[in-house]
């Protein structure tokens, strides 16, 4: 690897919140992940009966019932899920650090698509009922920055509201931008993450038309198969994850749940959907993250892979990990959470990052379900059989977390935490 030159100032994570197909909060999601449960199920609504793909990962109905009825009517599901996760993260952070000037709290909430439900519903209203039937709030409900705006409004935050839209890398890019804002002292605390609600007729048909989705309608829990030999596409899911971050030096003693050391980025410049097949540019993002974190591949105790279960994407990522980590890739365990969660698109990076820090904190890496037998071309150490106890030869555990998006957006993050097992 190149000589290290740009060491990032790491930031602490003092709160988090998530809603996912596996739970209404971060704790229940982690418990389900560790237990090896799947959040993928068959769709039973009438609107799904004629679709070619009728499986997905949906947030439990109970998750959105706490939202005020007026807010439910005036916001898209994408914004609703983001707000639920942000409220949890804000409450957790506030309890840990006390009061903070709202003018110094920023929101960075990414999404891959934005208000797809609203777009689909209002297009149907226009087509079937004419202009008079279109909701006057259509545009503010469907715009991608609606979720970030709703969070800032709901929590009374004035330090800036930002929305990275980089497809499936959006949540991870939000975390990178948060670190940049903190290091540049533009904010003292940042609520960063991603949200997505793509599970409707338009979302499912659009992705299935490009043959990106698994067609295992008869076996939903086995459909998402990252790195598996017989994988046939990803499973579309919804959810949101938000992390509360602040500068390490400003963090009250004992309040840090974990740390984000550094982020790396690159772009494939190859294809709007397909990854660069050799993983050359993805490996640049990985090496950039390690460089900025000031660590070597051998310092990693785990990798959390993007691994969606697509034939080309999984191969490209495995090649990038082998290229970047070298011989260390033989031993570093690799966990792919999308086997259980499905693909949360713009929310994936943040929800998975929370899971990653929980794994580091507990000193155990969950197994990757549905991936056995592995594709023989996947030359990395995927955790297919059982959870793996993380090595504890150092006081601080380091994890590499990858997120890649349509358009060739590559984000890699180095996370760390202290293990309970030490």
pLDDT tens sequence across 158-212: 999 999 999 999 999 999 999 999 999 999 999 999 999 999 999 999 999 999 9
Residues 244 and 380 in one domain: no
Alpha carbons 208 and 214: distance in angstroms, whole number: 8
Alpha carbons 35 and 127: distance in angstroms, whole number: 46
Alpha carbons 207 and 212: distance in angstroms, whole number: 6
Residues 210 and 78 in one domain: yes
Q: Name residue, tokens 């004992």.
A: 254
Residue 348 resides in a domain: yes
pLDDT at position 394 is 57
Residues 374 and 284 in one domain: yes
**Catalytically active residues, by annotation:** 168, 306, 343
The residue from 218, 250, 282 where one domain ends is 250
Confidence of residue 2 (pLDDT cuts 50, 70, 90): very low
Alpha carbons 357 and 181: distance in angstroms, whole number: 21
Residue 305 resides in a domain: yes
Write out pLDDT tens, residues 340-378. 999 999 999 999 999 999 999 999 999 999 999 999 999
Q: Which helix (H) or strand (E) holds 389?
A: strand 388-389
Average pLDDT over residues 299-308: 97
Alpha carbons 377 and 288: distance in angstroms, whole number: 25
Residues 211 and 339 in one domain: no
Residue 422 resides in a domain: no
User: Residue by residue, what is the 3-state secondary structure of 173-189?
Assistant: HHHHHHHHHHHCCCCCE
The residue from 250, 284, 316 where one domain ends is 250
Is the CB of residue 115 less than 8 Å from the CB of residue 80?
A: no
Residues 178 and 280 in one domain: no
Residue 1 resides in a domain: no
pLDDT(1) > 50: no
Alpha carbons 333 and 384: distance in angstroms, whole number: 10
Strand boundaries in 63-199, DSSP class E: 105-110, 161-162, 189-196
The residue from 197, 216, 250 where one domain ends is 250
In this prediction, what percent of the chain has a pLDDT beyond 70? 97
Residue 58 resides in a domain: yes
Alpha carbons 39 and 346: distance in angstroms, whole number: 18
Quote the domain boundaries for residue 192: 11-250
pLDDT(384) > 80: yes
Residues 240 and 275 in one domain: no
Alpha carbons 155 and 134: distance in angstroms, whole number: 29
Alpha carbons 49 and 134: distance in angstroms, whole number: 26
Token pair for 268: 């494939």
Three-class DSSP category at 153: helix
Alpha carbons 15 and 243: distance in angstroms, whole number: 6
Residues 204 and 285 in one domain: no
Question: Phi and psi dihedrals of 124, rounded to 5?
Answer: -65, -40
pLDDT(5) > 50: yes
Residues 237 and 282 in one domain: no
* DSSP 8-state symbol, 74: H
68-72, 85-89, 146-150: least confident range: 68-72
User: Residue by residue, what is the 3-state secondary structure of 127-170?
Assistant: HHHCHHHCCCCHHHHHCCCHHHHHHHHHHCCCCCEECCCCHHHH
Residues 295 and 384 in one domain: yes
Chain centroid, CA 270 distance in Å: 23
Alpha carbons 338 and 341: distance in angstroms, whole number: 5
Write out pLDDT tens, residues 19-49. 999 999 999 999 999 999 999 999 999 999 9
pTM score: 0.97
Total domains in the chain come to 2
Residue 256 resides in a domain: no
Residues 36 and 182 in one domain: yes
Write out pLDDT tens, residues 224-252. 999 999 999 999 999 999 999 999 999 99
């Amino acid at each position: 690897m190149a000589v290290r030159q740009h060491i990032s100032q790491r930031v602490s994570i003092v709160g988090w919140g998530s809603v996912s197909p596996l739970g209404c909060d971060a704790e229940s999601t982690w418990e389900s992940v560790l237990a090896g449960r799947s959040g993928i199920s068959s769709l039973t609504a009438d609107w799904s009966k004629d679709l070619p793909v009728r499986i997905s990962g949906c947030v439990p109905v109970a998750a959105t019932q706490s939202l005020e009825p007026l807010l439910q009517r005036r916001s898209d599901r994408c914004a609703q899920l983001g707000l639920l996760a942000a409220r949890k993260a804000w409450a957790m952070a506030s309890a840990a650090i006390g009061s903070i000037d709202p003018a110094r709290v920023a929101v960075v909430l990414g999404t891959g698509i934005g208000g797809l439900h609203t777009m689909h519903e209002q297009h149907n209203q226009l087509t079937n009922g004419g202009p008079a039937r279109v909701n006057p709030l259509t545009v503010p409900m469907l715009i991608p920055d609606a979720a970030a705006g709703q969070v800032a409004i709901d929590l009374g935050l004035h330090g800036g509201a930002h929305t990275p839209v980089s497809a499936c890398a959006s949540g991870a890019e939000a975390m990178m931008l948060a670190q940049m804002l903190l290091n540049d002292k533009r904010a003292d605390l940042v609520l960063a993450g991603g949200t997505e609600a793509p599970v409707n007729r338009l979302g499912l048909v659009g992705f299935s038309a490009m043959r990106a989705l698994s067609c295992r309608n008869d076996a939903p829990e086995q459909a998402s198969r990252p790195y598996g030999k017989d994988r046939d596409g990803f499973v579309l899911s919804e959810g949101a994850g938000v992390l509360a971050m602040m500068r390490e030096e400003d963090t009250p003693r004992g309040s840090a749940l974990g740390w984000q050391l550094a982020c790396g980025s690159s772009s494939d410049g190859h294809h709007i959907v397909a990854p660069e097949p050799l993983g050359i540019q993805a490996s640049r993002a990985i090496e950039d993250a390690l460089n900025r974190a000031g660590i070597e591949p051998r310092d990693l105790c785990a990798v959390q892979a993007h691994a969606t279960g697509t034939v080309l994407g999984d191969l490209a990522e495995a090649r990038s990990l082998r290229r970047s980590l070298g011989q260390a890739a033989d031993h570093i365990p690799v966990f792919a959470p999308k086997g259980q969660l499905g693909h949360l698109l713009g929310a994936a990076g943040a929800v998975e990052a929370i899971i990653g820090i929980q794994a580091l904190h507990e000193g155990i890496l969950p197994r990757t379900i549905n991936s056995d037998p592995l594709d023989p071309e996947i030359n990395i150490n995927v955790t297919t059989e059982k959870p793996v106890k993380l090595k504890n030869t150092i006081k601080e555990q380091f994890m590499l977390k990858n997120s890649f998006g349509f358009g060739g957006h590559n984000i890699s993050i180095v996370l760390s935490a202290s293990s309970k097992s030490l």
